[in-house]
Structure 1
Amino acid sequence: MAVSEALEGNQLFPVFLKLNQLHTVLIGGGNVGLEKLTALLNNSQQAQVTVVAEQLLPEVYDLAAGYPRVKLIKKSFTEEDLDDADLVVAATANNILNERIRQAAHQRKLLINVADKPELCDFYLGSIVKKGDLKLAISTNGKSPTVAKRLKQVLNEALPAELDTTLQQLSALRETLTGDFAGKVKALNKATAILVDPKPVKKKNFKWLIWLSIIASIAIAVTALWFNEPGFKLYVQDISPVFYYFLAAGFVFAMIDGAIGMSYGVTSTAFSLSMGISPASASMAVHLSEIMSNGIAGWMHYRMGNVNWKMFKLLIIPGIIGAATGACLISSLEHYAMYTKPLVSVYTLILGSVILSKAFKTGKKKSADKIKRISLLGLGGGFIDAVGGGGWGSIVLSSLIAGGRHPRFSLGTVKLTRFFIAMIGSLIFLTMLNGAPWSAIAGLIIGSALAAPIAARISNRISVKVIMVAVGIIVILVSLKSITSFLMKFI
């Protein structure tokens, strides 16, 4: 191989420095200096950094105030500033000064990074993807920092936050291993095979449970419709027009839900209340229709590998308990539907406002700590969902994502757990309620079931913001209409 061929391409050797054990001298306190200081401290909160600059931005002072190992020196640079340095970063807009700093660093055998001057750099500060203890460094060999930033954004969204949990578990496993090196490697390889296996063994434990539950839920829905709604039988000519209204509504609401991961319950309930259905019957209609639609959607997400099984276990039992309790409560108040209906409309009004507000926050970077009380979230979400006829997605999914959980895995897990919760809630409603609007229920069931497999496939291809704004406005208007109608009775 020719020497010229060997020198082609990226010649950088990636290393990870222990900045907490090194002394970094940063020259420059302007916007570039602030950017470099932020990058250093984001990767090592215990980094020892001395900033030397004639002028320091107020933001530099504010940032340094939270880090006791950062020292600010307001003065002109002198070569003696590098005497105790291990690394040097030049972040000035003065090319002559940058060259002088570089010469002083090399005289002391120090490595230096010069901002926006790749030809003067001994090392680069690359874009970093961080998931707990996991760090990935991206380098374009100084060709395009913008490309590196875009790749960082893509990897941040693609890699689940749960990877850090996996690292901690593997670290604990590693401490328990005994034997020779080859045996340890074999054990760790076996433990990490799930990360690359397209069909992990763990999924198989749930496959037959999901299928049996889907079949059972379909049987429940069909039996309920067959014995309570004559229009459901194929040979009956007179099908109520209400069936077609709710068929279209169920399809549209399920498509929206598939796109943004929430709002089927609240939109369906708001629509049902506006059509004169009582809160308990509306909640039963929503839950019965969600059995089939969420069963199909949950199965699709399962097949696409979008389910976090640890999160599933934490949500499922508390969610079922909450849903069962809520279903019993709202069913026992069916005779007071005149008073519970406006209360549920207020609830849907609030959820509509929440959805609308979230539409304008979807693009903002979230810095919230990862939510940990998942079981408590499932309990409250299941209860409120059953009482109000919706809210599992709006409450549970949005809280998981806002709390740092990966959106794709959160959506898949919430969809699958929702299937079981809807089935339990439906059984309780069928047991406690004497009658129900079966034409409306049949329309919702069939409409949402038709939309479910399509919605799961296109969940990442639709403008989330536009849909959330439309849904929020519609739910708010429909809820206000129901509340206004109630108040008008007393005027």
Structure 2
Amino acid sequence: MHDFMIFFFVGALAQLVDGALGMAYGVISSTVLLSFGVLPAQASASVHAAELFTTAASGGAHIWHKNIDWKLFWRLVPFGVLGGALGAYVLTGLDGDVVKPYVAAYLAVMGAYLLSRSFRQVPQKPVPARVVPPLALVGGLFDAIGGGGWGPIVTSGLLGAGGQPRYVIGSVNAAEFLVTLSVSLSFALALVTGHWEDAPDLMTNAMAVAGLVCGGVVVAPFAGYAIRIIPQNWLLRLVGLLICVLALSQIWQLI
């Protein structure tokens, strides 16, 4: 029950940020799991299992509030799904202890990026169609490998290209459900076919996944209200700092 409550609050915080900013659920959850000693592939599989529920709730809310640019959505999905499946295949074929320092370093970079992102405003203009496929492919790839990254890479990239925040965040969140589904199915396929040789008993993290799911689903409907109270830049700044501290502590332990 102790683990459940910890991850309930982690899931709630992560979903609050993700619903408000279109990023960071996976990064926050994965960073905390890794800090508990979970190997990268297992952490990513656990986070994506939880995200099947939270992205469905978040995407549904954005559809309800008409925050989706469907043309952008359908440009994102195929490349995000391809990148996610490829990332899961690569991660499950690597030794967990070998890849862990690289994943920790990646999360530290993501934390630093989110922190720096909180100090600047992005101008709005039409998003060039050519930037969407590579962003979605790289976002899906790193989302699977690092357990998070779809939002920080894709949302930030599209906003940086001038996309309108409401439709960028809504479209990226809605597309994330299908990317998450492809990553989860890829982990399951790797497990069934024996490609994931050092796969642990996935029930080991069942309580953590349940906490992430419950915390995320409970908070998802209220994220829109919460961001009217908490300044987005401060929220992003605090989360970026938290991720940096956790990731650097992992690197220190590994050294």
Structures share fold, TM-score greater than 0.5? yes
Q: Name the residue aligned to 1:372.
A: 129
Offset of residue 408 of structure 1? 0.1
Q: Deviations over 1:184-231 (max 9, x none)?
A: xxxxxxxxxxxxxxxxxxxxxxxxxxxxxxxxxxxxxxxxxxxxxxxx
Counterpart of 2:145 (choices 381, 387, 405) is 387
Q: Could you say which structure has the larger radius of gyration? A: 1
Q: Deviations over 1:140-163 (max 9, x none)?
A: xxxxxxxxxxxxxxxxxxxxxxxx
* AA in 2 matched with 1:252: L
* AA in 2 matched with 1:366: P
Q: Pick closer, same or farther for the CA change 1:317–1:477 going to 2, 3 Å.
A: same
Q: Deviations over 1:303-326 (max 9, x none)?
A: 111000000110001110110010
* AA in 1 matched with 2:218: L
Q: Name the residue aligned to 2:4.
A: 243
Note if 1:289 corresponds to 2:66: no
Partner Cα separation in structure 1 for residue 140 and residue 229 of structure 2: 29
DSSP 3-state at the match of 2:129: coil
Offset of residue 456 of structure 1? 4.0
Q: Pick closer, same or farther for the CA change 1:430–1:242 going to 2, 3 Å.
A: farther
Q: Name the residue aligned to 1:445.
A: 213
Q: Pick closer, same or farther for the CA change 1:421–1:367 going to 2, 3 Å.
A: closer
Partner Cα separation in structure 2 for residue 331 and residue 472 of structure 1: 27
Q: Name the residue aligned to 2:195.
A: none
Q: Name the residue aligned to 1:221.
A: none
> Structure 2 regions of 5+ residues with no counterpart?
192-198
* AA in 2 matched with 1:360: F
Note if 1:432 corresponds to 2:190: yes
Q: Name the residue aligned to 1:475.
A: 243
Partner Cα separation in structure 2 for residue 460 and residue 280 of structure 1: 36
Q: Name the residue aligned to 2:196.
A: none
* AA in 2 matched with 1:316: V
Note if 1:359 corresponds to 2:127: no
Q: Deviations over 1:347-403 (max 9, x none)?
A: 0000000000011003xx527773332122111110111111101110000111111
Q: Greater share of helix residues, 1 or 2?
A: 2
Work out whether residues 294 and 452 of structure 1, in 8 Å CA contact, stay in contact via their aligned partners in 2.
no
Counterpart of 1:318 (choices 73, 79, 87) is 79
* AA in 2 matched with 1:379: L
Work out whether residues 322 and 380 of structure 1, in 8 Å CA contact, stay in contact via their aligned partners in 2.
yes
Q: Name the residue aligned to 1:227.
A: none
Normalised by the size of structure 1, how large is the TM-score? 0.48
> Structure 1 regions of 5+ residues with no counterpart?
1-239
Note if 1:332 corresponds to 2:93: yes
DSSP 3-state at the match of 1:306: coil
Work out whether residues 322 and 378 of structure 1, in 8 Å CA contact, stay in contact via their aligned partners in 2.
yes
Work out whether residues 83 and 137 of structure 2, in 8 Å CA contact, stay in contact via their aligned partners in 1.
yes
* AA in 2 matched with 1:286: V
Q: Name the residue aligned to 1:214.
A: none
* AA in 1 matched with 2:123: K
Offset of residue 474 of structure 1? 0.7
The size of the alignment, in residue pairs, is 244
DSSP 3-state at the match of 1:467: helix
Stretch of structure 1 that moved more, 350-359 or 247-256: 247-256
Offset of residue 460 of structure 1? 4.8
Q: Greater share of strand residues, 1 or 2?
A: 1
Q: Deviations over 1:333-357 (max 9, x none)?
A: 2xx2112111100000000000000
Offset of residue 261 of structure 1? 1.8
DSSP 3-state at the match of 1:420: helix
* AA in 2 matched with 1:278: L
Q: Where do residues 118-197 of structure 1 align in structure 2 (5 Å cutoff)?
A: none
Q: Pick closer, same or farther for the CA change 1:311–1:318 going to 2, 3 Å.
A: same
Offset of residue 457 of structure 1? 4.6
Normalised by the size of structure 2, how large is the TM-score? 0.90
> Larger relative CO (CA 8 A, sep 6+): 1 or 2?
2
